[in-house]
Amino acid sequence: MSLGDVVLSPLCKPDMELITTTEDLAATCERLARHPFVTIDTEFLRETTYYPLLCVAQLASSDEAVVIDALAPGIDLKPFFELMADKRVLKVFHAARQDIEICWHRAQSIPHPIFDTQVAAMVLGHGDSISYDQLVQRITGDTLDKSNRFTDWTRRPLSPAQVIYAISDVTHLRDVYAALVADLGRRGRTDWMDDEMEVLISPETYRADPERAWMRLKTRVRKPRELAVLIEVAAWREREAQTRDVPRSRVLKDDTIGDIAVQAPTTAERLASLRSLPKGFERSNWGEGILDAVKRGLARDPKTLPHIERPKLTPNGAATVELLKVLLRMTSERHGVAAKVIATVDDLDRIAGDDDADVPTMKGWRRELFGERALALKHGRLALAIERSRVVAVDRS
C-alpha cells in the first residue's frame, strides 16, 4: 500500500474505550483492521531500563478510539502486534522510531506500512523535528493539554484524565494525518515520503547488536588501536546493559568510553586514574570487565577493524562546506523542506571532498533538489550573491 492508495473516512467523535482483557483487545483489533488506516501512540517508561516498558497503547480509526492497558493482569498483546503487522492497514505515528522499537522488542516485528507525521511535516517545511503539540496547534488550531505528559504510566488504576490525554493524542493525529496527506498530494511529494519510511521499517534500525554499538558513539578516535578498544568496550557496555536491563549510561557514559579508548588502561591503577570514572569503580566487577575489554581490543588484528570513511580533505574544504550550508538553507526556504531532511552536515563534508559521495543527499529527489546544485557550486558553475538584501544563486555555466 502506498500513501496515494489511502482513502480517508469522515472523521467522527470517537467512542472512547479502555481495554483491559485479551478478549476485548482481539475484538477491537479485528474491527480496526477493517479500516484503511489507524493512528497509534504509546506511553512507556525507560528511564531505569534498557528496554522500553510499554504501559499504554492508544489507537484510533476514523470512528473509534481506544486505550489499551498493556499492564493489565493477564492481557496478551498478540492481537495488537498482529494489527501492527497487517499490511492492509496503514499505521500512522508521530516520531515513530521508539513506538516501532517497542514492537520490535516485544514481537520481533515492524509495523508496515507506516506514515510518520513528524517526517511528513519536515518534508513539507514545518521545521526540523517539530513536536507533536506544535504540529497539532499549527494544523488544527487546538492546544493540547500537557498536564499528563510526565505522569507515572505504571500506576494503576489509570485515571480518567490519563485516558482522556491518551485518547486525545490519537484523535488529533487523525486530523494532522489528513491535512499532511492532502498537502503532500498537492505538492507532488507523496513519493518522497515513501522513500523516507524505508529507514523506519528496516530491522537494521532497531537491532541492538553489541558488536555495532560503537557506531552510535560520537567520540572520534584517530588511531586503529583506539578504534579497536572503542569497539570492544562499547560492545561490553551494550551486553551489560541488555543483560541487566538498565540504561547504557548507568553502566558507562559515552564520554568515558572515549577516554578509555584513548588511554587504553590495562591495570586497575591506570583505570582509577581516569577522571571520568567514579572513585572506586576500578575495584568493581564492571571495572574488571572493562579491563578485559581493553585487552581484547589491544589484541585485535588491525586488519579486522572496520574501515571508517572520512571526508577527503581539500585545500578549501572548510570554505566549500560553509558555502554548501548557505545553499542548503536557501534550498530549504525556497522549497519549504526542512534542511535536516535534505542534507546533514556530515553529508556536506563528504560532498565537499568527493563528487561521488555515497550519501542520501546525492540520490533521488534530494539530488534533484539540492545535490546537483551543490556540485555546481563546488565547481564554480553556480555562484552565490547578495541581491536586494537576499542571498541568491547565479548560474555561471
CATH of the domain at 223: 1.10.150.80
**Contact by Cβ (8 Å): 351, 359:** yes
Question: What cell does 189 get?
Answer: 511529494
Same domain, 81 and 133: yes
User: Which of 205, 236, 254 corresponds to the end of one domain?
Assistant: 205
Establish if 108 belongs to a structural domain.
yes
Establish if 178 belongs to a structural domain.
yes
Establish if 310 belongs to a structural domain.
no
Higher-confidence position of 42 and 275: 42
Establish if 309 belongs to a structural domain.
no
Under DSSP, is residue 198 helix (H, G, I), strand (E, B) or coil? Answer: helix
Same domain, 44 and 134: yes
Same domain, 198 and 240: no
Q: Give the whole-angstrom CA distance, residue 210 versus residue 231.
A: 9
**Contact by Cβ (8 Å): 20, 72:** yes
At 157-202, the pLDDT tens digits run 999 999 999 999 999 999 999 999 999 999 999 999 987 899 899 9
Same domain, 159 and 246: no
Instruction: Give the domain CATH number at 342.
Output: 1.10.150
Same domain, 329 and 389: yes
Number of domains in the chain: 3
Same domain, 169 and 258: no
**Contact by Cβ (8 Å): 126, 72:** no
Establish if 312 belongs to a structural domain.
no
CA 88 to each of CA 6, 19, 34, 279: distance values in angstroms, whole numbers, following the listed order: 10, 23, 9, 56
User: Which of 304, 337, 368 corresponds to the end of one domain?
Assistant: 304
Residues 6+ apart with CB under 8 A from 144: 132, 133, 136, 137, 168, 169, 172
User: Which of 281, 304, 327 corresponds to the end of one domain?
Assistant: 304
Same domain, 272 and 333: no
Nearest to 42 by CA among 76, 74, 84: 84
Same domain, 149 and 258: no
Enclosing domain of residue 121 = 3-205
Q: What is the mean pLDDT of the chain?
A: 91
Which amino acid is it at 97? R
Residue whose C-alpha cell is 515492524: 110
Instruction: Supply the pLDDT for residue 309.
Output: 67
At 88-120, the pLDDT tens digits run 999 999 999 999 999 999 999 999 999 999 999
Instruction: Supply the pLDDT for residue 15.
Output: 46
**Contact by Cβ (8 Å): 200, 191:** no
Confidence of residue 343 (pLDDT cuts 50, 70, 90): very high
Torsion angle (degrees, nearest 10) of CA 183, 187, 188, 193:
-50
pTM of the full structure: 0.86
Least confident residue range of 9-13, 162-166, 330-334? 9-13
